Every structure is written in C-alpha cells, then in structure tokens.
Amino acid sequence: MAVTKVSLCGITLDNPVIPASGTFGYGREFSELYDLNILGSFSFKGTTLSPRSGNPLPRIAECAGGMLNAVGLQNPGVEKVIKEELPWIREHFKKPVMANVSGFSVSDYASVCELLDREDNIGWLEVNVSCPNVHGGGMSFGTTPEGAAEVTKAVKKVTKKPVIVKLSPNVTDIASIAKACEDAGADGISLINTLLGMRIDLKSRKPLLKNKTGGVSGGCIFPVAVRMVYQVYEAVKIPIVGMGGIETAEDVIEMMLSGATAVQVGAKNLVNPWACPEIINSLPEVMDKYGIHNLTDIIGGAHE
C-alpha cells in the first residue's frame, strides 16, 4: 500500500498536497465542492496587518501555459481573519492550516505573526517575502540575503510555530537567500513565488494590467521551479515546500525528487477547482507506476 504521509517541520501531513496561498482564499468556496480534509493542508490568502483592497483592475491576464496576476494582496486584515475566517476554518478543516503572512515593514511581519501565533489551528507561518505585485514591501525583503534574514529573525522572536519563508524567483542566487533564512532561524523554505512578467494589448498598445507588471504562474514555470528547488535543497538542511506550475501527480513526484518535502498547487486551482483532490487520488497509482512505496523515501532523490 502506498504511503503518502510526510512530515513538514514536525507536523505530519496525510499527503504532501497543499493549495497555494492566493488561489484558495480561506477555503470557503472550495468547501462547497469537496471535503477540505482530503488535503494535506492549505495555505490561506496572504494576510497583512491592515485590510487591503488590492491593485486596481484589470489585474489578471492570460499567457501561453499560464496566467499573470497583480491582485496585490487583497485581504481583510489579520484581525478580521482571526475573528471571522479562522473560526470557520476550525469548524470545516480538522487539520493544521498554513497562514501566509505579508508585510510592508519588518515590524508588520512580526506583528501579524505574533497575533497568529496564538491561534491553535495554525500549524505553520508561511512568511511571504516574495510578492511581486506590491510596492514598498513583499518582494523587496526577499531579494537579498540580508533582507530575508532580517524578517526571519524578527518573526522567530515572536512565535513558537514553525516559520517557513516563501522566496522569490526574481533573484540571481536563490540558494544564498535560502541559506541566509536558515541561518536566521527559519524552519523551512517555500518556493517559488511567481515570476515577474508583462503582457501588452495590441489595440491600445499599453500593458494589459493596470499595475503594468504581474506575477506569472501556471505550468509554464514548472521547469524553473524544479531547478530552483533543486538548488536550494543542496544549500540548506531544512525542509522545502516546492511550488510553481504543479498540475499532476507526476509533477508532485518530480518536485519531491528535486528536494521538496511537500508541494503547493496554485494556478491549477483556478482552472480546475478539483485539481488538488484529483492529484491526491491519483498519487498512489503514480507511485505504483514508478515503484515508489513511501513518498518520504524519494525526497531529494534526484541528487547524487
């Protein structure tokens, strides 16, 4: 019998499949389609200290093999998340959930994490230092080892929960940034966030997105994600959550061979809302096809 359980920062998951932040809201809409408890966990919508309305429209555009988004961290703010969303999640999802946190200053990150640290149904804090669609925060902290380490240290001071730092692919040396986060106390790394891109409307001759640029996601970025997870695995000893273009159970296996302990499924949820349960249900068959008994055994298996 195929064993799909994995351990992420000391917390056991029934399977390694986690819907990615920004593609799953707080789970409400998807709960109308299937039982959320089939999931390993899910990473809820990026949460900031204060409410955000996000970027002006239009903020979604299509591209070959994927999409661009410039939503800009639209969310109700951490206090409303704690008051309204977490009680609902606690009632409908009987497993630890992953809290995705963003900020515009180091103190923002620390404040949000300190508040969320008190919530018993949050298993991990996924600290997003990689959002490309906001100005004066997000990715600006994740493009240098020093910036990422500073946020990591500040968050680790205010929480006992595992801290997973979410990194940007829009850098020249992602491995050195991951190592800086590990040295600063991070319990895990997640990658990759979206790649910075642009589309131009041929009729107006102007960018399709009001924000001009947006984050590229979808199957087209999968090879980049696999490469970066592979590089980070060789640089750190802490677990990695791999994401970027995962669409099938075969993709899950490939990402785990490159070094991921768990994976996140993002844009595919927007195309097919049943993507995650379909991947989970097909995992045992794919494992059997490739002679895999226990998923834990293949983590980093592509490395010498």
Catalytic residues: 131
163 pairs with which residues across the strands?
125
* Tokens at 253, concatenated: 């296996």
- Cα torsion through 85, 89, 95, 101, rounded to 10: -20
**SS3 of 67-94:** EEECCCCCECCHHHHHHHHHHHHHHHCC
Q: How many C-beta neighbours within 10 Å does residue 143 have?
A: 17
C-alpha distances (whole Å) from 222 to each of 99, 116, 235, 242 are: 24, 31, 20, 10
Looking at the DSSP assignment, which residues form a beta bridge with residue 98?
43, 124
User: Alpha-carbon distance 130 to 225, whole Å?
Assistant: 14
- In angstroms, rounded to a whole number, what is the distance separating the alpha carbons of residues 135 and 138? 8
Distance, in Å, from the CA atom of 128 to the CA atom of 131, rounded to the nearest integer, reads 7
Beta strands at 206-207 and 122-128: parallel, antiparallel or unpaired: unpaired
Exposure on the CB side of residue 93, measured as CA atoms within 13 A: 29
